[in-house]
Structure 1
Amino acid sequence: MTQHPVPVPPATDDSAVPPGTLWARMKADPQYAPEHLALDAVRRLGPEAAAWAHRMREEHPGITPDDLAARAVKHFTTLARISGAVSGVTGLPGAVLDVGVLAWTQCRMILHIAAAYGTDPAVPERATDLLVLQRVHRVAESARTALGVAAGRERASRIFTGADDAPLGGVLVKLGLKLAQMAGVRAAKRMFAKVVPGAGVILGTWVNSAATKDLAKRAREHYRT
């Protein structure tokens, strides 16, 4: 069966959605999709978060870390809520797209929260934070090990190429479940209700908002201390 890339909706800026190269890596290696996403998020979004925190402190002298973090949480919770309703892609590809964009938006939020509390959001260790805070891994050590494996597989993929014989549907289901785990969608069936026309819009909006607010609370507690 001919495989097609997971569709990515148009974005207003380059960091709003996972780049096409990341989607290709995750589809080729769905078992380590969260690790690939975390690595790419720190590389691409970490500098953005650092620049935002620096600019906000210059524009608002005396702003507290808590206030700065609150602004980030409000902004990205709104983006997460919207992302559950506007992709316009139906069926299984749309469900995978939704959870992928949600996980990416949540990573962006965590890195901005880190920057708000004076933690460098662009260093590799932040990828470990992302995976632990998003509960992909229980402890930092296992997260680091998985990131090392994913990084090695990413490098190898540039050297070796080969046909992927797995059916497209099976790949997307596996990828969607891994990304749903990362995005905090515990009941994956809720997110995959998008396969039923009309059901995913309302459901996706509620699930995205609740999962992101829960994650924001954990991230603020983590970086505040």
Structure 2
Amino acid sequence: MTEPSPAVDPDPIAGDDPAAGPPGTLWARMKADPQYAPEHLALEAVRRLGPEAQRWVERLRVQNPGITPGALGQLASKRFTNHARLSGAVSGATGLPGAVVDVGVLAWTQARMVLHMAAAYGLDPTHPDRATDLLVLQRVHKVAESARLALGVAAGRERASRLFANSGERPLTGVMLKLGVKLAQMAGIRAAKRMFAKVIPGAAVILGTWANSAATKDLARRTRDYYGSNAMPQITSQ
């Protein structure tokens, strides 16, 4: 059955910026611990973006009485897929750092989409379980159990990093390469050459736009299947 077309809020998400990416503190954390970059991003996304998603759904439900979870989820997926497409074209960064920034922004945008879709389907986007969902939906981990274990490790490493200063500098190129590969995996860009080709003059805009849009559409479909089969009438804490 086709979902009814809801009245669209002209500015449903505060601070809506297609180029918005992870905050500086998260970049620093991921650079210091690139092996667990996806886990750090998922934890921070739930903390920072979960409340935003919850407010958005609550407001849209007030503005559009009777709107279905599917219609709300469709609004979120369309909006953030468009953001992902635009973010692939607007980045001005170049070289390896530029490629890492691009996939980091994409992974953050996709996390934002998943959390808004979770809220649309009646789940609490601020619940720690959403970080597990992110890692499974973004295919960083195949099952929830391994995702939870990795999140626990990342959280422990985050706490430890606050207590102990890093005594030695790691080679920047090696760190950025590892960070880029982990974030590309999270964002759904499987081939490393696809990410690094974005820095080739003349190819960056076309490839970035196509790769970001395709990866995000695929994630939106998986998210709709994942949450839609257990849709709830309103946001509830688990």
Shared fold per TM-score greater than 0.5: yes
Residue correspondence of structure 1 range 61-210 to structure 2 within 5 A: 61-210=65-214
Q: Output the amino acid matched with 1:50.
A: Q
Task: State the shift of 1:149 in Å.
Answer: 0.2
Distance 2:192 2:213 in 1: 15
- In the alignment of these two chains, the number of paired residues is 214
User: How far does the alpha carbon of each residue in 1:1-60 deviate from its partner, in whole angstroms, 9 at most, with x for none?
Assistant: xxxxxxxxxx866x9320000000000000000000000000000010010000000000
Distance 1:204 1:221 in 2: 26
Distance 1:91 1:82 in 2: 19
Distance 2:197 2:175 in 1: 18
Distance 1:164 1:68 in 2: 48
Distance 2:198 2:172 in 1: 18
Q: Output the amino acid matched with 2:221.
A: K
Distance 1:194 1:183 in 2: 15
Alignment gaps of 5+ in structure 1: 1-10
2:92 aligned counterpart, secondary structure: coil
**Identity across the alignment (%):** 74
Q: 1:164 to 1:216 in 2, by over 3 A?
A: farther
TM-score by length of 2: 0.87
2:49 aligned counterpart, secondary structure: helix
TM-score by length of 1: 0.92
Alignment gaps of 5+ in structure 2: 1-14, 230-238
Aligned-residue Cα RMSD (Å) equals 1.3
2:89 aligned counterpart, secondary structure: coil
Q: State the partner residue of 2:59.
A: 55
Kindly indicate whether the alpha-carbon contact (under 8 Å) linking 1:192 and 1:200 is maintained by their aligned counterparts in 2.
no
| Runs of 4+ more than 4 Å apart | none
Distance 1:147 1:75 in 2: 28
2:46 to 20, 42, 60: 42
